Amino acid sequence: MNDSGHSIDALVFDIGGVLVKDVWEHLLLDPVTGVAAICGLDFDEVAAFAPVLWHEFEIRPCSDAEPAEVLERLYWERFCSRFPVSLSIDDLIALTDDFISPVNGMTALLEKAASRNIPMAICSNNNEFWLRKQVDKAGLAPFFPSERIISSSCVGAIKNSPGFEMFRAVTAALQTSGSGTVFIDDRFENIIRCQAYGWTGILFPQADPHGAAYLESLLRRMGW
């Protein structure tokens, strides 16, 4: 039980598939509006290349030489060097915005958590350019100060790293630790990893339109 009377000391959220609808898979592979469909590309070839490209940029940090805007163009240049596309780099960048929207009900849940003074953080395997767009377009900044938005691209390691680097960064940002920290993610392997670190994990049903209501019911049972 923390000082505010809750048994939950902190809430840590993945962003893609939990707070904001997932971007990269749908952006590339949506059968109607994705890049592969628009440009007439082979879906299997794009699906095979997409994770390779994603992993290259999910641990690539911004720098003065490579700010987020530069990295985003490099991402699409890499994609275009592999596939013949009918869209320009600017068109591809603009198309991303169509795939960023809040998950139904999650903004209201964040508002309730904030009203209860529960510390919150984001812990996301993500590149810097899409993460910033997700935070901005979904209006997440009021709930998550910049120092509590932890990305693999800044830390240099992903959530399933054996060194727990991302979870340690979140712990330092929140100044909390242990099972009182609840981590919500839509990927089972990340839940298993957070439990190994000592957190409590909740697997979020990202495909269910009632996922936010489900999550809130669990949190209420945990004493928030």
Same domain? For 76 and 144 the reply is: no
pLDDT at 50: 93
For residue 187, pLDDT beyond 80: yes
Same structural domain, 90 and 118: no
Whole-number mean pLDDT of the chain? 94
pLDDT band at 25, cuts 50/70/90? confident
Residue type, 78: R
According to DSSP, residue 120 is labeled E
Does residue 2 form part of some domain? no
Least confident of 63-72, 151-160, 173-182: 173-182
Is 119 in the same domain as 192?
yes
Q: What's the pLDDT band for 224 if we cut at 50, 70, 90? A: confident
* Boundary of a domain, candidates 58, 84, 99: 99
- The verdict on 148 and 192 lying in the same domain is yes
Instruction: Let me know whether 95 and 170 are in one domain.
Output: no
Residues 62 and 88 in one domain: yes
The domain boundary residue, chosen from 66, 99, 132: 99
- Domain membership of residue 5 (yes or no) is no
- Report the pLDDT averaged over residues 207-217: 94
**Do 163 and 135 share a structural domain?**
yes
Q: Which whole number is the average pLDDT over 158-178?
A: 94
Give the number of domains in the chain. 2
Per-residue pLDDT, 105? 96
The pLDDT value recorded for residue 11 is 98
List of residues 6+ apart from 142 with CB closer than 8 A: 114
Report the C-alpha gap between 170 and 134 in whole angstroms. Answer: 19
In a domain, 3, yes or no: no
The residue ranking higher by pLDDT, 7 or 13, is 13
* Mean pLDDT score, 58-73: 94
DSSP 161-176: -TT-HHHHHHHHHHT-
Query: 118-130 pLDDT, tens per residue?
Result: 999 999 999 999 9
Res 178: pLDDT = 79
pLDDT tier for residue 174 given thresholds of 50, 70 and 90 = very high
Domain interval for residue 83:
24-99
Q: Is the pLDDT of residue 135 over 50?
A: yes
The share of the chain scoring above pLDDT 70, in percent, equals 97
Joined tokens for residue 8: 């939950």
Whether 207 and 130 map to the same domain: the answer is yes
186 shares a domain with 121: yes
Task: Kindly tell me if the per-residue pLDDT of 179 is higher than 90.
Answer: no
Contact of 143 with 110, CB cutoff 8 Å: yes
Residues 112 and 189 in one domain: yes
Res 4: pLDDT: 42
167 domain-assigned: yes
Q: Which of 59, 76, 99 is the last residue of a domain?
A: 99
pLDDT for position 2:
44
The reply to whether 81 and 191 lie within a common domain is no
Q: How far is CA 186 from the centre of its chain?
A: 10
Q: Which pLDDT value is given to residue 118?
A: 95
